[in-house]
Amino acid sequence: MPKVGMPAIRRPQLVEATMSAIDEVGLAGASVALISRKAGVSAGIINHYFGGKHGLLEETMRSVMRELSKGVQLRLSITDQNDAKARILAIVDGNFDGNQVSSKVTKTWLAFWSHAMHDPTLFRLQHVNERRLLSHLRVELKKLLPPERAQFVAQGIAALVDGIWLRGALNPQGIDTRAAIKTIEDYLERQLHDSQP
């Protein structure tokens, strides 16, 4: 019998190496050779486990999204079910989780965002992810605002999240999580205080 349980070790190992490579040289420079070297395995193994480079990239994107989702769910699970405002801030906070704002993850996100435009599989993944943020926010906002307004504010918050994140990705000092949350909290409170602009 061969070594067993290897997939459980190799797959995360290669996903990690992929993000690390993208962080260092960008998606364009993240060759199979470089990624496998970083993972300390041979290049052929990527085919063995992911059926090709594309499979690895797809899994990497899924992994990043899974982590994001996990961070949000964790925060929601420890937040009062009835405190909508707290839940919204929990969602926002999850999007600025320490893991998500690391250079490695930030660059990986951005690389995939650009790449997804011309790759149907990645595009769909990305799209689902974007809808989810909006949907999560809308559910909570509907408890506080009329439906139309809830949709409007959800889009505003989502835009702020992505915009702050995008601008932070470009900044060598990275994302200032505290400032990010303060900006969005401020936005939210102004929307709740006086819902008619």
Answer yes or no: are the C-beta atoms of 99 and 74 closer than 8 Å. no
Q: Tell me which residue has tokens 């595009």.
A: 123
Instruction: Output the CA torsion sign for 181, 187, 191, 194.
Output: positive
Q: Which of 3, 118, 120, 178 binds a second copy (CB under 8 A)?
A: 118
Contacts with 91 (C-beta within 8 Å, 6 or more apart), sequence order:
72, 75, 76, 133, 136, 137, 140
Binder of DNA out of 20, 23, 24, 53 (CB under 7 A)? 53
Q: Which does 34 bind (CB under 5 to 8 A by kind): DNA, a second copy, none?
A: DNA
- Residues near 132 by Cβ (< 8 Å), separated by ≥ 6? 69
Shortest distance in whole angstroms from residue 123 CB to DNA: 18
How far CA 132 is from CA of 11, 104, 129, in Å, comes to 26, 23, 5
Residues 9-48 that bind a second copy (CB under 8 A): 25-29
Q: Which of 12, 26, 48, 127 binds DNA (CB under 7 A)?
A: 48
Contacts with DNA, residue ranges (CB under 7 A): 1-4, 6-7, 9-10, 29-34, 41-49, 52-54
Contacts with a second copy, residue ranges (CB under 8 A): 25-29, 107, 110-111, 113-118, 123, 126-127, 130, 152, 155-156, 158-167, 169-170, 179, 183, 186-187, 189-191, 194, 197
